Structure 1
Amino acid sequence: MSGEAERSGADVGDRDAQISALTDLVEALTRKLRRLEDRVNQLVARPGPESSADEDAAAEPAPWVWFSPPAAAESDPAGDGDPRNTVDNFVAWYNVTFVGVDGSRARPIPQCWSQHPGLAMEVATLAYSWRAANVGPNATERDAQHWLHQWRPGFADRLAREWGSPDCLDGDHRDDGRARADRHEIAEQHA
């Protein structure tokens, strides 16, 4: 009988230890859930471009944007919203802002960029990724730095190696026979 009493005493001690461990685990999970809930509430309270009452505020450059950003068709309420205008403006702005010194890999985007399908796709995504990282209430310093550290150098490298011929990069377009109408030109032709 004393063996049975010892076992029940050991079971109670083991059960108390298990309850204590579970209580600690539940408290840790509760703290994590509260932090997550606080973060979700912060994100919900942050106005997005579609919920902003003031459209001009939605297109404001972030404080770290040192130079005036390129004009975007999407920011002009009187404009037609043609994304080609956004990309064209970005190309001009990029060439003024990011072209390196003589001999560097950072070359200007050639005037004939839209006549090279792969380059046109990359330039368009470069333009819109820059805007997402640097303009409007959802722009973040982290995204802007990522763009500068990853997107731009990768683009500059591919521009020099893959997308343009040396002639195009020197300002003398060489037709490679791959130019084609973009979806906006096709829509205009069918309108």
Structure 2
Amino acid sequence: MNTKHFILFTFLLLFVTPLSSQNMSREIGIRFSGLDDFDFIYKKSADGLKYKRYRIAASSLSLALVEDTRFSFNVSYARGIEKRKNVTNQLKFIHGWEPGVYLSLAYSEDFTSGTIGIFLGYVLGFQYDFSDKFYVNIETIPTLALSTNYTDEDFGEDVLINAGFNSREAALTLAYKFSSPARK
């Protein structure tokens, strides 16, 4: 092999190979903590049995225009790493850290108040794959939260710290698994 062919081969190997697309496992689902409390969850494969998870919840959205205007909502966003350990072929133990932020707001013509905070949770649960495309899991997320309340008159005068592990906060997730080309 002469030098020109070697350089051309090396160039093709270094620069063309990364352009080939590899499929990445992804999952999307709905996480229920009750009939009136649900989150949207998206996961993508990070490495082996590790998944990056993104969870957004918008709950308690209400608007009332009777006599006076009232509006309220709660929203939260969490992002973490979920690790999975095989228990059987279809059952996995899931765990991992999940930090996040949340905001709640209540507005009326007379008064505005709300809460803003951050939290650090640890996901604990089990996932059951009932097919190649669908799974169900049950999980709970013990958390440590730091928040402050605000009103029309003040902001951040009181700081609240809350830690909790509550078995009533178990959540059920129904999710769809799919593959798509990995993005750079």
TM-score with structure 2 setting the length: 0.25
Higher helix share: 1
Higher strand share: 2
TM-score with structure 1 setting the length: 0.25
Which of the two has higher C-alpha Rg?
1
